[in-house]
Chain A
């Protein structure tokens, strides 16, 4: 039962449909709805400061309206206790109040004092980030107490600059705290705190730190490049979404330049792939990440989608791509070009904008291609900046119809003499519907596969002849050999069949399968039925089918075993037993009869004195011994019997000696 209690919530969790909703950057309205739903009817986010912070700032990032009763949330925020709960809670409450426009109502003195102390004693990027962020928000709201001016903040910040310098690594990444691994999120927070320190609090790093800080900001393109190669994360990152979003927000805040739009497009796609948002924190990160991507300092990343993955020879379908920005809005003024791999087919061929409502661009590719092929194209979209803003490698297949020639099916004997010969024309089966194949013969299928428009061999086509055993469903596959031009031959023997699926005798269905990405419609052609007889076993009996798979056999119940008990010895009929019982009793009856006839008396039995006692004791002990024998037979064991018998024998001996002595004396006296 204990185990049950432990696993129940796990299973219920797995069975339950996730509460998370599905979002894409294209439907940020759904993201807003999610946040508003989490805010609750009273808009207080269940009185959780972290949720209220994430939800309100997510809505702000989405440029959406705050939930109803925002003033009530403001009142709750201002009244919240922030002195207990750590620096992060203080930061979130102050930021939330600033967002709601009520930071001035906060009891700023203890808040600013706590933030100032955190900055002065900072040992990590987070300490500085939360401290500076809190002070900046209070400063922006003109709520800083007079005792804490910029002079005091500048003084308190001195140790933090030194800490920050130590945490900045040569690669442009930042460690969250000494002794830890570099983190994208910590790096993003470093950017953000720098902006707030410089722009809001007018703080400048000391000269010995300034160079490291400037290099940190200048390294953003390099960090983006390195992080992209490693899957957009650094060794010290646990929260992938938080890391990316914070990095982007930081990069946007410092107005980073020289960022590669293709890499930003990669980031945008990665954020777009974050379809599941189950918590307000995730919503906050996704919203702020998407907001950052819209920053003016960032080059516009474009998304290119292939709309025509297949082009059929004979049609006039052009290559069509859709160009949009990462929010899904069509882009019509981009310069879109396509190049084939190696440049042999297309080199920077321009695509024309054909539909402004969808951002569609087209190029006539089929005029360059005459045969079925797979085209590997690189499509590049260049925006106004002149830099590639979107690039994608796509594979476009040029397809053609597959035309099979009539198939010739021949069964040959061991000496190559033809035993059976028939043909089939697609889509019909062979005229001679049942073919016979045994271990002395082979079956050969010959046919041709052509591309309809090119009227040439379809060399890329993958063709296989499948033989399916009708009784068991087991299938064996045979590959064709080229017989020149478009001709193919497939040879089947029972040995080849047995090698693949074992020696199943009986009817097989022969089906030709052929297809390829460049084939417009695959070929599934039932050629006919083959009756297969495998080589018999050494004793001449038919070949045995293969045993079942061991795993399946192990799952079967074993045959029951009933123990065969030893049969009791035969006994005569009861009537016979009774007859012989009567015969066994007969001598006694005869004895009684004879005794009766001669006249029996017991006048010699002593009637008085010691002889009487001796004879009574003697006869009684003999009778007792006989009775003991009967009891022994019925229930006693030998060890119980022996002592009793010994006692009775002793009695019988004593009384018998006396009785027989007296009897002898009496007998002598009578004589």
Chain B
């Protein structure tokens, strides 16, 4: 019996432990294993960073992303643009679930993007141009010395995404060859990390154009960064080649452009990976602190018209170290159904943001709300409920000069009563 129990225990442990991996486990799905050599610089960067890459063919029949309710990997990279059916137990729905559960995804596609991947990217809020189309630039194309190809372009139109480019965007343009994308203007989650230059457009054919391009110039998204509501992150790149060794090496010479020792690909790709793996643009907060001015303890409730001090600490992950976050646009709201007060918090050098607010002269159940969502940064959503009571009867203002006649009349009435009492009873 004891032996059977031991065997069962061992089986249980094996079942629970074997498929579970740490948050550095990255599943890389590739179209073919040539990527191991053509993209070795990119993969080397990930390996050097301590990530354990499981590079698998996208149609590998043994693919698994989840073992029952446990995700086997924490991050997923898809470099399999033309894949029609994933192998094993992986499909687009599972990948969407993977993102919904807060995991990270990096997808790179090209002009041969399959309907499967197009659908997945569409579900993420990014529209990919028709299959076979390519981004072209007849003015700013890259002169490589090899074949003349105006689909090999370079763009320096990096998005104004502070969380992604915390130390500034790459100085040099990024070499790109692939398919363009567009981002719906009403999308709040999708950011254009790399747009087309002013002469870049997307075209289906390489012959004369008879219809205006669907997307061009700055509206053309070459790389899209998606910050999901649950702080999961996705990067969709329209080019697998931009991650390749060939595009990471210099020099970069654009037609009618300046020459750079190296393109910005390495810098951009590393920034994208750091961002999508939550090593950039990551904010941490201590939570809200609040108390009456002059006090230090948080009371159980506030009274209308109290003066409060609200503060919180925010830190940003910079180079692996949590450093004080610097911003002048962090706001706190005091809400009861609608915000009654919205104030900007004043920053300090140590990352503490604070302000004083006066409790409105309305009593009820209020909430302090901090909803901080900035481009490229993880969203901070804080909410704390506090009751607000009215004045007590003895908390109103006393000795009002305007009421002196009333006070005096009462007192004089009392005095007169006593006098008349004595006069009536005791005068002879």
Binding site for B on A (CB under 8 A): 3-4, 7-16, 18-20, 230-233, 235, 237, 240-241, 270-271, 273-276, 278, 306, 309-310, 394-397, 399, 459-464, 466, 468, 473-482, 496, 500-501, 513-517, 519, 522, 524, 546-547, 549-552, 554-563, 565-566, 571-572, 574, 577-578, 580-581, 583-585, 587-588, 591-592, 595, 600-605, 615, 619, 622-623, 626, 629-630, 634-635, 637, 659, 663
Task: Tell me whether B367 is interfacial, beta carbon within 8 Å.
Answer: no
Q: Are A605 and B426 in contact (CB-based, < 8 A)?
A: yes
CB nearest to B199 among chain A residues = A513
Q: Are A550 and B210 in contact (CB-based, < 8 A)?
A: no
Residues from chain A with a CB closer than 8 A to the CB of B191 are 551
- In the assembled complex, 7 residue pairs joining A and B whose CB atoms fall closer than 8 Å, in A order, are A475-B198, A475-B216, A516-B150, A522-B139, A580-B405, A601-B427, A637-B394
Given contacts A10-B320, A550-B188, are A600 and B423 in contact (CB under 8 A)? yes
Q: Are A584 and B405 in contact (CB-based, < 8 A)?
A: yes
Task: Tell me whether B105 is interfacial, beta carbon within 8 Å.
Answer: no
Q: CA–CA, A513 to B36, complex, Å?
A: 39
Q: Are A591 and B44 in contact (CB-based, < 8 A)?
A: no
Binding site for A on B (CB under 8 A): 24, 31-38, 40-41, 44-46, 48-51, 57, 60, 136, 138-139, 145-150, 183, 185-191, 198-199, 201, 203, 206-213, 216-219, 245, 255-256, 270, 273-274, 277, 279, 284, 305, 317, 319-322, 329, 331, 333-334, 339-344, 358, 360-361, 373-375, 393-394, 398, 400-409, 411-412, 414-423, 425-428
Q: How far is the CB of A271 from chain B (nearest CB, A)?
A: 8
Q: CA–CA, A397 to B345, complex, Å?
A: 61
Residues from chain A with a CB closer than 8 A to the CB of B427 are 600-604
Q: How far is the CB of B90 from chain A (nearest CB, A)?
A: 16
Residues from chain A with a CB closer than 8 A to the CB of B256 are 522, 524
Contact of A584 among B146, B340, B361, B412 (CB under 8 A): B412
Q: Are A604 and B208 in contact (CB-based, < 8 A)?
A: no
Q: CA–CA, A554 to B57, complex, Å?
A: 39
CB nearest to B322 among chain A residues = A4
- The CB with the most chain B CB atoms within 10 A, among A14, A524, A552, A619, is that of A14
Given contacts A232-B34, A477-B201, A479-B212, are A18 and B139 in contact (CB under 8 A)? no
Q: CA–CA, A316 to B202, complex, Å?
A: 34
Q: How far is the CB of A16 from chain B (nearest CB, A)?
A: 7
The 9 A-B residue pairs whose C-beta atoms are closest, nearest first, are: A515-B138, A231-B32, A11-B320, A13-B49, A233-B33, A8-B320, A557-B329, A231-B33, A580-B405
Q: Are A14 and B49 in contact (CB-based, < 8 A)?
A: yes
Q: Are B360 and A273 in contact (CB-based, < 8 A)?
A: no
Contact of A241 among B36, B186, B342 (CB under 8 A): B36
- The CB with the most chain A CB atoms within 10 A, among B44, B138, B417, is that of B138
Residues from chain B with a CB closer than 8 A to the CB of A635 are 394
User: How many residue pairs bridge A and B at CB < 8 Å?
Assistant: 301
Q: CA–CA, A581 to B149, complex, Å?
A: 97
| Chain B residues touching A, majority SS | mixed
Q: A464-B212, A561-B341, A577-B403 are in contact. List 15 more A-B contacts (CB 8 A).
A: A7-B320, A8-B321, A18-B48, A233-B33, A306-B146, A306-B147, A399-B148, A462-B138, A462-B203, A476-B212, A546-B185, A560-B344, A562-B341, A603-B427, A630-B411
Given contacts A270-B34, A637-B394, are A574 and B401 in contact (CB under 8 A)? yes
Q: Are A14 and B331 in contact (CB-based, < 8 A)?
A: no
Q: How far is the CB of A354 from chain B (nearest CB, A)?
A: 19
Q: Are B41 and A276 in contact (CB-based, < 8 A)?
A: yes
Q: Are A551 and B147 in contact (CB-based, < 8 A)?
A: no
- The CB with the most chain B CB atoms within 10 A, among A16, A466, A477, is that of A477
Q: Are B342 and A559 in contact (CB-based, < 8 A)?
A: yes
Q: Are A14 and B274 in contact (CB-based, < 8 A)?
A: yes
Q: How far is the CB of A580 from chain B (nearest CB, A)?
A: 4
Q: Are A273 and B146 in contact (CB-based, < 8 A)?
A: no
Residues from chain B with a CB closer than 8 A to the CB of A475 are 198, 216-219
Q: How far is the CB of A616 from chain B (nearest CB, A)?
A: 12
Q: How far is the CB of B63 from chain A (nearest CB, A)?
A: 11
Q: How far is the CB of B59 from chain A (nearest CB, A)?
A: 10
Q: Are B421 and A554 in contact (CB-based, < 8 A)?
A: no
Q: Are B416 and A587 in contact (CB-based, < 8 A)?
A: yes
Given contacts A515-B138, A619-B422, are A477 and B213 in contact (CB under 8 A)? yes
Q: Are A10 and B138 in contact (CB-based, < 8 A)?
A: no
Q: How far is the CB of B277 from chain A (nearest CB, A)?
A: 8
Q: CA–CA, A315 to B320, complex, Å?
A: 57
CB nearest to B328 among chain A residues = A557
Q: Are A20 and B274 in contact (CB-based, < 8 A)?
A: no
Q: CA–CA, A199 to B416, complex, Å?
A: 136
Contact of B199 among A524, A557, A604 (CB under 8 A): A524
Q: Are B331 and A462 in contact (CB-based, < 8 A)?
A: no
Residues from chain B with a CB closer than 8 A to the CB of A237 are 33
Q: Are B148 and A604 in contact (CB-based, < 8 A)?
A: no
Residues from chain B with a CB closer than 8 A to the CB of A271 are 37
Q: CA–CA, A594 to B319, complex, Å?
A: 92
Given contacts A278-B44, A603-B427, are A309 and B190 in contact (CB under 8 A)? no
Residues from chain A with a CB closer than 8 A to the CB of B198 are 466, 468, 475
CB nearest to A394 among chain B residues = B147
Residues from chain B with a CB closer than 8 A to the CB of A7 are 279, 317, 320
- The CB with the most chain B CB atoms within 10 A, among A514, A577, A605, is that of A577
Q: CA–CA, A349 to B13, complex, Å?
A: 69
Q: Are B150 and A515 in contact (CB-based, < 8 A)?
A: yes
Q: Are B408 and A602 in contact (CB-based, < 8 A)?
A: no
Q: Are A601 and B147 in contact (CB-based, < 8 A)?
A: no
Q: Are B419 and A604 in contact (CB-based, < 8 A)?
A: no
Q: Are B185 and A519 in contact (CB-based, < 8 A)?
A: no
Residues from chain B with a CB closer than 8 A to the CB of A468 are 198
Q: How far is the CB of A266 from chain B (nearest CB, A)?
A: 10
Given contacts A9-B50, A550-B188, A622-B421, are A477 and B216 in contact (CB under 8 A)? yes
Q: CA–CA, A577 to B400, complex, Å?
A: 10
Q: Are B320 and A595 in contact (CB-based, < 8 A)?
A: no
Q: CA–CA, A615 to B34, complex, Å?
A: 116
Contact of A14 among B40, B209, B270, B426 (CB under 8 A): B270
Q: Are B423 and A663 in contact (CB-based, < 8 A)?
A: no
Residues from chain A with a CB closer than 8 A to the CB of B414 are 626, 629
CB nearest to B162 among chain A residues = A555
Given contacts A13-B49, A546-B185, A605-B426, are A565 and B305 in contact (CB under 8 A)? yes
Given contacts A394-B147, A551-B187, are A479 and B209 in contact (CB under 8 A)? yes
